[in-house]
Each structure stands twice: as structure tokens, then as C-alpha cells.
């Protein structure tokens, strides 16, 4: 019986551990704007994209939003686009107040939890920690996917800049990238 259970669960567990496929084109993600047209990641083709998947009520996400505003200003004039997508319950009702409170210098919108889980290829079997960052190169190829519990998020100021700089360097387009790290002892959770 134990072998049968392992045979059934093993493929499921492998599937849930996969994040956005690094090295593959980014799947579409329809991010709703507040009093504006929806955003499509494909509209930023030709720019390096840093996508933050956030919860408007999460203090770590709020701090990341402030940090990304500074980074967006520092990278102004370079082919970089930072975008945030809130997907927590009632995000559509909370996003206007969130934007007013944190004054992001980049587009922030919302979409459903299901859309985000499909985008990053997660299932309900595995917890999803926020904030979560995905990086796309200028051609719209996923080059980095960093889970909220990964080491990447322990120093986002340094790591986001390093990732952007790496993707702005033409020689790194074909370089191997990072997949989401396995869960650690981090306590940040949606």
C-alpha cells in the first residue's frame, strides 16, 4: 500500500515543486489596472521585467513595494519595467488604497489567485509565500523565479538590482537562471 501511495503522489509532488519555467516564454498574465486598461506582460517586450506577486496586506510585500519604487527610479532611462500584481482576497477593493498609501513609481494591479497560481505553476498542495518575484528578459523569456521563502528575498535590495543588471548585460541572455528555491524556514506567508 505504501508503494502504491508513493507511486501516485510522486508525480504530483514533482509537479507542485515546479515554478514558472525558467528559459521558457512567459505565459500570459492579465493584470487589471485601477481605472486603467489591463496590463499584459507582453506589452513590455524589449524591456527587462521584474514582476512582483504580492498581497496588499503583507508587510513584506509593502516593504518590497517601497524598495521597488526606489529601484524603478534608479533604473529610469534603462530598458527595465517593474510591475506588481496583487492577488489576495479582495485585492480589487484594496489596491487603490494600497497605491495611495505606498505611492509606487511603477504599475500595480491585481488579478485572481487562480491566475497567479497558473502563471507560476503552483497548486494548493504547496504553500505559496509572498512576495514572489519573476524576472523576464527583453524577449519575454523567464530568467528567474524567486519564491517568497527563498534566500533571494532575504536581501531583495541587492538581489533585485543584481538580477536586473545581469539581464541588462547582453551576454547573459542565454545564461542559466534560478528556479524557485525549496521551502526554507522563512515565516513570510500569504
What does the pLDDT look like over 139-182, one tens digit per residue? Answer: 999 999 999 999 999 999 999 999 999 999 976 444 444 454 44
Task: Give the closest residue to 180 by CA, choosing from 8, 71, 18.
Answer: 18
Which residue segments constitute the domains of the chain, with CATH numbers given? 19-172 (3.40.30.10)
pLDDT of residue 171: 62
- 68 Cβ partners below 8 Å, 6+ apart? 50, 52, 82, 84, 104, 106, 160
Q: What share of the chain is helix, strand, coil (3-state, %, to 5)?
A: 40, 20, 40
| Cα atoms found within 13 Å of the Cα of residue 178, Cβ hemisphere only | 19
Amino acid at each position: 500500500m505504501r508503494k502504491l501511495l508513493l507511486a501516485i503522489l510522486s508525480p504530483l509532488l514533482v509537479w507542485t515543486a515546479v515554478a514558472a519555467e525558467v528559459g521558457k516564454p512567459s505565459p500570459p498574465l492579465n493584470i487589471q489596472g485601477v481605472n486603467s486598461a489591463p496590463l499584459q506582460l507582453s506589452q513590455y517586450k524589449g524591456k527587462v521585467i521584474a514582476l512582483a506577486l504580492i498581497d496588499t496586506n503583507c508587510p513584506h510585500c509593502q516593504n518590497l513595494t517601497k524598495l521597488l519604487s526606489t529601484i524603478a527610479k534608479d533604473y529610469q532611462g534603462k530598458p527595465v519595467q517593474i510591475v506588481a500584481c496583487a492577488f489576495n482576497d479582495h485585492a480589487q477593493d484594496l489596491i487603490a488604497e494600497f497605491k495611495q498609501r505606498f505611492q509606487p513609481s511603477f504599475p500595480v494591479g491585481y488579478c485572481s489567485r487562480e491566475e497567479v497560481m497558473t502563471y507560476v505553476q503552483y497548486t494548493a498542495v504547496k504553500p505559496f509565500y509572498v512576495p514572489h518575484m519573476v524576472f523576464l528578459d527583453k524577449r519575454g523569456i523567464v530568467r528567474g523565479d524567486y519564491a517568497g521563502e527563498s534566500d533571494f528575498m532575504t536581501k531583495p535590495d541587492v538581489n533585485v538590482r543584481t538580477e536586473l543588471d545581469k539581464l541588462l548585460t547582453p551576454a547573459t541572455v542565454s545564461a542559466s537562471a534560478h528556479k524557485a528555491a525549496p521551502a526554507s524556514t522563512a515565516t513570510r506567508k500569504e
